[in-house]
Every structure is written in C-alpha cells, then in structure tokens.
Chain A
C-alpha cells in the first residue's frame, strides 16, 4: 500500500517534470548593458512568469556592432538565437539578407497575434519596414534626438529653450555665453545633425526613396542646407557657443552633467539615465530645433535605437514562442514599464495613452518630448533611410565631421569626401546582394 502510494507520487512528480520540460525555450541576443540590461532581464522574467508554455533567455552580447557580428557568425554556423537585436545602422544588412529573418508582421499573423501597423506611433512604423511598408523588425528600444537643457542655466541667462536654430544663434547662445556657459554640445553628429536633420527638414537623404526601393542607391548628403548647417556650427564653435568633445557619446554628455554646457542634444532614451544621476540642477527637454529658413513647419524625426528580428530556421513551436513574446512585449503595460524605466519611447499608441492617463508626463514633461516629435506631421522623406554598409558610412561622416571641427578640412571638402566614399561603399554593398 505504502509502496503504491509512493509510486503514484513518483509518477505525479515525473509527470510535472515532463510538463515543465515541455515548455519551449527561446533565446534573445541583445546589446543592452548596465541598467538597460537589467530592465531587459526584468521584461524576460515577467514574460516567463506570465505563462508556463514558453521561456525566453536574454543574453547580452556587447555593443550594437558586436551583437550584429556575433549574430551573423552564429547564423552562418547554424547556432543563431531566435531573437536578435539589430541597430538602425545595421538595418540594411539584416533586412537585405532575405531568408535570414522572418518578417515580424508575417510571424505575428501566422501565429494568431493581431497586427496592425497603425497601432504603432507614426515615427516608429516604417524605419524597419520594407519598401512596401511591411514591418520586418519589431522596433524595441526606440529613441529620437531631442534637446535637453539646464533649467537653472537658462533662467540665469534669462532665455527660454530655442525652437529654431535662428533663435539659438541670435538670442539663446549669446545670452548663455554671457552667463558663463558653453551653449551647446551634441552626442552623435551622423544621427542628430545628418539623418534626423534631413527628416526634420523633409530633405531627401538618398535616391530610390531614401534607399528603401533598391540597392543601387546614392547618398544625397552633399546638399546646401546641411552644408550651411555645418558652416553655422563651426561659427558657433569659434564664438564659444558650441563645443565638440570627440566622437564618443559620453564625452559630449559629461560636460552637460557637469553644469558647463547648458544645452545638450542627446537621445530621448537618455532620460532615464539622467534622472537617476541626480544632477545638481534641474533639467528638462524640448524638441530638436530646426532652421526656419529651410522649413516653416518642422516634420517628424524617425527612430534610432534598435529593433528585434525573428531569425529564420527555427521550429514552429519556437516561432510561436517568439510571436507570443512579441505580443507580451508590445502590450501597453510592458511598453509603459520600458518607457518609464529607460526613457525609450512607447512604440504603440495604446501604451502612449496609458502613460498619459497614468500622469507620467505630468510628473516628467521631458519624457513626452520624444513621442510628440515622432508623432509630428510626416513628410515625403521622414520615414527613415535604408543604406548598406551604413556602419562604415557613419564612421566616414564621424571622421570628416571631426576633421571639420578640428579645422583640418573645410565643410565643402568634407561633404565631397563623404559623398564619394559613401557612394563607393553603396555600390560595393549592391554587389554583395548579387
């Protein structure tokens, strides 16, 4: 009798164990270090706790570039993860390799998860989409460049944050200089002063619909408006109203935190980090300024950051698990949590509504700036860009911009160099797709 009872219990245990083993396990490679990485882990834990059929394991693989390279190497070896995070500049590489990923839109509808691209906020929809507007990568950490400012410094100088660059150079910057501040620094010249400069002013960035339609694309960076902008930047620099601290992101953010620079162009995703640092002054943010002489009403910017791609070559159960994870990830609650913790924008309208209703923006008005800027009026050239070898093209821009700002070359020569070298790379990339 006792024996029988024992075997029954044993059988029951064995049965539970098998049930636990039956859960489908998937992996997620990402590039979110530090505080962001902990938030990623929390999201994964919450997903695992929310149901018992699937289990996702996030793995930190280093920087964006390192994550992409690791993903490519693993794909070639057939050991790739189910979900891979790829950043904006790598979009052309991963989307160009048709067959490497399953378009997220197909993945979701095949697995019975409702999908409507119009549920996503405007600036998020098409960056990681193909030329027909089908979403390929699921936007994850989506950010856009905004202008942070030191409230105390601007009050001391008796100015308000500028809406246009004209206002900046005529009123704001001279007053801040008078008050003993460097008026402005920025952290990413290709992203803020090039890609989003084009979008904000609704200027074409590349041929073939900014590169979305075909790979025989040429870059249109050597144009008057942006060259005029960089000429202005060098003049601000000469007048002590702008300072460049190198190509590194943090080197340009630090002087803002140290109360030396009054306004800093960074990412809407920098918000969470700045808030945690407990700065010795009050800070807030406004939308990215624009040149009134170029455009009367500024357009939306597009997202930077990265998207999650579902890799191909996985079993149906695993794809189902990935789809369920995306369902969880895009739910208003998860998005709102992610938005609050990091400052990255909530990617759906519903999560934005939830944040509003909860009073998040009454507590932190600066947290909403990225969302409103991404939801501004769209233009012909505002959905993003799709260019191959874009990591190198960005490096070329950084190199030439650095040379402009250290007086090594003039604006005209630098943009000619960027155009030539970028077009050469684009032509080479087109051949890799052949």
Chain B
C-alpha cells in the first residue's frame, strides 16, 4: 500500500507552524515562566528577588488552609460533575420520549447554555440574596438559617447549585444527541427482550451511551475545576472572607490580588501536574475500556 505523503518536508512544517507558534507562545512559554518563578520570591515590580528552592512548594503543602481549599475543590468537583451529569441525563431521557412540542422543550432546556459564567454568578447572587432571594427563602423554610457570604456551607451550596445549573444544558445536548444516535432496531429488539423500561435503560441504552458519558465526565471535571471561576468570583462579591473557594481561585487571589508571584506560580504548577494526571487517566485507563463505534 502506498503511503500518502508530502514530497517537500518544508510544506507540512509551514502548514503546522501557525498552530505550533500559538501553542508555544500561549502555553509553553507561560508554563515555563510559571515553573521558573515558582522557585523564587520576587518583588512584584521586578526590583528584588530571592531564589528559595522548593520553599514555595513546601510552604503550600504545610499550609492547612491550602489543604482545606484542596479538599473543598474535590468535594465541589465531585458534586458538580455528578449532579450536572445526572440531571442532564434524566432530562435528556425524558425529552427524548416527548413527541408533541419536542423542539420547544429542547430549546428551552438548552437556553441556559448561552449564559456566561459570571452572569450565572450574578443570577446566583439575586437568587441567593440575604434578604430578598427566593432560594434563600426556600432554604429558610426548612429551618436552615441560609446566608450567602456568611455561612460557609450556605455559600458552598449556592456555588454548587449555580455551577450545576450552568452546566446542565451542555450535558443535555450531548446526551440527547447520544440517545438519538442509538439505532431504532436495537431499541425495538430490547423492547421484546425486556418489558421493564428501567431495566432496558441500564442494560442497553446506558452502555451504548458510555462513550458520550465518558467524554462528558472529563469535560465536566475540567469545568468544575477550572471554568467555574467566574461563578465563584461573582458569588464571593470581591471578598474571599471565610467563603469556600477552589484551587484555581486561590491561584488568582495570591497572584493577582496579593501579588505573591512565587507562591501563585507554585500553585499553578501543582494544577498543571493535576491536569497532566487527569489526561493520563483519560487516555490510559478509561479509554481502553470504552468502545467507540
């Protein structure tokens, strides 16, 4: 078999160059900078700096507050990923069955997708307002003295709800198209074998949805870890105080609010390692077990 190829080595290089340059300038160069400054403590204006070795890392690991934030990030990511996937799947399965007015339902369910995270955060502020928010009143009717920005758990709950709400439409779109690509013949065959709709769903539909679900799992973990920044920032209203926050937000606070470039760089290197681990996990462990058609 003849391999298709370029005769001239420079043409493919030239074609790849723009993309490589973008990656180098916007990813590798800043990453190298972050790595370098994580070993220094420097005056933000750039006058003085001291090489401190791994001090920035060791002081992170010894810091109880950092551990607390890491723990919150894990809990937050698990909750956001789980609820946004579960609710979206439920909605997709239900919407898939609707025949009359199907398009209207779908459009309404996808609407929220168009909202930017900070806007979602501001909507959250309105809904969770200390004195007038409807969600505040809702939680208070259960006897929970819900106060955004005062009570740590209340603020955490508001962050999770806003982040889940924002992410459901994306998952919904993917799940719905995943469901619709399952062949009719397979469903009909399943219908003959199993009369229970729940049983059919878990034994036939869900395994066929697995590639979509796995892709969404990775997307949602990344979303919860990184893209929820805008929501967290808005709900915090500019004052971290005793509010919960994620690791990414802490990088921003120390670097851009506190001007501690060394400490902030060390934290972003930790996050880079985390992303690396996630990627390896994605390709090595899970992708092998899932069959794409």
Residues of A in contact with B (beta carbons under 8 Å apart) = 63, 65, 68-69, 72, 75-76, 93-94, 96-100, 244-249, 251, 254, 258, 389, 391-392, 395-396, 398-403, 405-406, 408, 421, 424-425, 428, 431-434
Contacts and interface: CB of A to CB of B under 8 A. Distances in A.
A251 B65 contact: no
B153 to A, nearest CB: 9
B42 A246 contact: no
Contact of B257 (A65, A424, A431, A432): A65
Interface stretch (B109-117, B142-150, B164-172, B278-286): B142-150
Interface string B13-30: 000000000000000000
A433 B242 contact: no
B238 A248 contact: yes
Interface in B240-257: 240-243, 253-254, 256-257
Given A251-B149, A406-B150, A399 B242 contact: yes
B44 A97 contact: yes
A251 B24 CA distance: 45
A409 to B, nearest CB: 10
B169 to A, nearest CB: 30
28 contacts: A93-B43, A94-B45, A96-B43, A97-B45, A245-B149, A245-B150, A246-B241, A247-B239, A247-B241, A258-B131, A389-B259, A391-B258, A391-B259, A392-B253, A392-B257, A395-B240, A398-B239, A398-B240, A399-B240, A402-B243, A405-B150, A406-B150, A406-B151, A421-B63, A428-B263, A432-B42, A433-B48, A434-B50
A431 B45 CA distance: 14
Contacts of A405: 150
A100 B45 contact: yes
B49 A432 contact: yes
A402 B59 CA distance: 24
Indicate the member of B45, B47, B152, B260 with the most A CB atoms within 10 Å: B45
Given A392-B260, A406-B150, A251 B45 contact: no
The 5 closest A-B pairs by CB, nearest first: A247-B241, A402-B242, A246-B149, A97-B45, A247-B239
A387 to B, nearest CB: 12
A428 B150 contact: no
B130 A251 contact: yes
B77 to A, nearest CB: 22
Nearest to A408: B152
A385 to B, nearest CB: 17
A408 B47 CA distance: 41
Nearest to A72: B44
A389 B253 CA distance: 12
A69 B256 contact: yes
A392 B47 contact: no
The SS class assigned to the B binding surface is loop
The SS class assigned to the A binding surface is helix
A399 to B, nearest CB: 5
Interface string B28-48: 000000000000011111111
A194 to B, nearest CB: 14
B149 A389 contact: no
A63 B253 CA distance: 14
A431 B53 CA distance: 12
B237 interface: yes
Given A96-B43, A248-B241, A403-B152, 4 more contacts: A389-B259, A399-B240, A432-B42, A434-B48
B238 A63 contact: yes
B45 A244 contact: no
A431 B259 contact: no
B47 A99 contact: yes
B2 to A, nearest CB: 53
B71 to A, nearest CB: 15
Given A75-B45, A408-B152, A434-B50, A428 B237 contact: no
B290 interface: no
Contacts of B46: 75-76
A68 B43 CA distance: 13
Given A69-B256, A244-B150, A399-B242, A93 B44 contact: yes
A353 B169 CA distance: 63
A120 to B, nearest CB: 26
A45 to B, nearest CB: 29
Interface in B175-195: none
A77 B263 CA distance: 22
Contacts of B45: 72, 75-76, 93-94, 97, 99-100
